């Protein structure tokens, strides 16, 4: 009887010890797994932050690339000012800034190159410039109109000069666009084959912080 009781006690002790050891092992495993999950979450947060930073950098690079492509396209691909029977002045009020007559297409007859703006003159004839206004530089040849420049210019001015033909170059028009953010220069020459003016970008200063220029105004 005594032997049976002793055997029961030993078995009970062994079983209790076994359960306790199993529970401790399970808790350790849970703690290890929790630490691993926390580490993975930290890694995930860091990766998300890196991704956001990269997206920001990519957006800036894309913007710079677009600007470069736009600039290159403007420099490489000339515009074409073909003839139109409709004046670009139609539909709005325009103020004539300046004009000049010269034979630009070599047919012996002068065309009129004229610069207009949407800004108005006051009663004494002085220009009333706004922060920005539209400009049109156009050529009139009989009943045909050629638009060399038609844009809204913010805090800036448009000028033109006329050049006669030489042995090296045909007659043409230079268009200067001076703004608070840069300077553009375009050259327009008549193309006999296409029957219109090829407008090439000669120079584009890009984005500048212009503090002053001595160009005359109006």
CB closer to Ca ion out of 53 and 109? 109
Chosen residue from 63, 77, 107, 151 binding Ca ion by CB under 5 A = 107
- Taking CB under 5 A as the binding criterion, the range among 6-14, 31-39, 109-117, 184-192 that sits at the site for Ca ion is 109-117
- Taking CB under 5 A as the binding criterion, the range among 46-54, 63-71, 101-109, 194-202 that sits at the site for Ca ion is 101-109
**Token representation of residue 122:** 């006051």
CB closer to Ca ion out of 107 and 194? 107
Tell me how crowded residue 52 is: count the other CB atoms within 10 A of its CB: 10
Q: Judged by CB under 5 A, how many residues of this single chain contact Ca ion?
A: 4
Distance CA 26, CA 126 (A): 91
Chosen residue from 105, 115, 146, 159 binding Ca ion by CB under 5 A = 105
- Which residues, in sequence order, are CB contacts of 87 under 8 Å at separation 6+? 138, 140, 145
Rg of the chain in Å (alpha carbons): 39
Chosen residue from 74, 80, 103, 185 binding Ca ion by CB under 5 A = 103
Phi, psi of 178 (to 5 degrees): -110, 125
**Token representation of residue 88:** 């670009």
Chosen residue from 23, 28, 109, 154 binding Ca ion by CB under 5 A = 109
Helix (H, G, I), strand (E, B) or coil at 111: strand
Interaction between residue 204 and Ca ion (CB under 5 A):
no
- Taking CB under 5 A as the binding criterion, the range among 17-25, 37-45, 99-107, 132-140 that sits at the site for Ca ion is 99-107
Please choose, from the candidates 104, 111, 73, 77, the residue with its C-alpha nearest in 3D space to the C-alpha of residue 191: 104
Q: Which residues of the shown chain bind Ca ion in the complex (CB under 5 A)?
A: 103, 105, 107, 109
């Amino acid at each position: 009887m005594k032997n049976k009781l002793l055997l029961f006690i030993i078995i009970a002790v062994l079983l209790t010890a076994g359960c306790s050891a199993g529970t401790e092992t399970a808790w350790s495993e849970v703690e290890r797994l929790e630490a691993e999950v926390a580490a993975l979450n930290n890694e995930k947060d860091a990766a998300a932050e890196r991704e956001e930073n990269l997206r920001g950098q990519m957006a800036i690079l894309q913007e710079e690339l677009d600007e470069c492509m736009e600039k290159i396209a403007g420099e490489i691909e000339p515009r074409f000012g073909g003839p139109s029977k409709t004046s670009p002045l139609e539909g709005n009020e325009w103020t004539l800034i300046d004009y000049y007559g010269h034979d630009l297409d070599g047919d012996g007859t002068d065309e009129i190159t004229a610069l207009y703006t949407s800004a108005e003159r006051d009663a004494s004839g002085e220009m009333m410039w706004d922060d920005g206004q539209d400009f049109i530089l156009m050529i009139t040849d009989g009943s045909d109109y050629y638009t060399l420049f038609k844009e809204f210019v913010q805090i800036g001015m448009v000028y033109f000069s006329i050049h006669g033909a030489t042995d090296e170059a045909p007659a043409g028009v230079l268009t200067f666009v001076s703004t608070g953010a840069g300077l553009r220069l375009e050259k327009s020459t008549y193309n006999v084959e296409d029957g219109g003016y090829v407008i090439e970008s000669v120079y584009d200063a890009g984005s500048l912080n212009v503090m002053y220029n001595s160009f005359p105004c109006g």
